[in-house]
Amino acid sequence: MNYSVNQKEELVFKCDMCHKEHIIEKNEVMSSFDSTNSDEREMGIEIEHLATISIQCNCGNEIEINISVWEYPEGCHNDESDSIDVENGKLISCFPLELPEN
Ligand SMILES: [Zn+2]
């Protein structure tokens, strides 16, 4: 994983332009997963769960957060591979990501 974990059930990041701190609640993050990629590998199917969250900061900056949560083999969360990318902002920390419910 490429993010630092917090115990607050929140995804926390800053705007690159005005440095305002933004918080998105865990519930909102987990309900944003709406697509998957899958691949057949040795131990079965590998699934990448994808979420994109776009917000506009008060300063006008458009910030986009792309989250990948990995499932491999099927039913197992491979959290080593999880990643969060923030465009036009800087990620501060996030709750431990989980596999989204179907
Ligand atoms: Zn801003």
Q: Residue 11: which H helix or E strand, with range? A: strand 10-15
Query: Separation of 38 CA from ligand 1 center, angstroms?
Result: 35
What is the model's pTM?
0.94
Q: What is the pLDDT of residues 43-88, one digit of tens each?
A: 999 999 999 999 999 999 999 999 999 999 999 999 999 999 999 9
Residues that place a CB less than 5 A from ion ligand 1: 15, 17-18, 20, 57, 59, 61
| Sequence spans of domains, the chain | 10-88
Edge-to-edge strand order for the sheet containing 21-25?
21-25, 10-15, 89-94
Query: Separation of 78 CA from ligand 1 center, angstroms?
Result: 33
User: Of 42, 30, 41, 45, whose CA–CA distance to 75 is shortest?
Assistant: 45
d(CA 20, CA 46): 37
Query: Separation of 88 CA from ligand 1 center, angstroms?
Result: 9
